[in-house]
Amino acid sequence: MADEAVTVAEAKAQLSRLIERAASGEEIVIRRGRSPVAKLVGYAKPPKPRKLGELRGQIWMSDDFDEPDEEIERMFGMRD
Q: What is the pLDDT of residues 21-62, one digit of tens each?
A: 999 999 999 999 999 999 999 999 999 999 999 889 998 888
CB contact at 8 A, 37 and 9 = no
Full domain range(s) for residue 28 = 4-40
Q: What is the CATH number of the domain that holds 31?
A: 3.40.1620
Under 8 Å between Cβ of 28 and 22: yes
With respect to residue 65, please indicate whether it lies within any of the assigned structural domains. no
Q: Is the pTM of this model over 0.75?
A: no
Is residue 71 in some structural domain? no
pLDDT for res 1:
47
Structural domain total, the chain: 1
Structure confidence at residue 60 (pLDDT):
87
Q: How far apart are CA 48 and CA 44, in angstroms?
A: 12
Residues 6+ apart with CB under 8 A from 50: none
At residue 2, the pLDDT reads: 56
Using a 10 angstrom Cβ sphere, with 0-12 exposed, 13-18 middle and 19 or more buried, the burial of residue 28 is: buried
Question: What SS3 state is found at 38?
Answer: strand
Q: Is 31 a member of any domain? A: yes
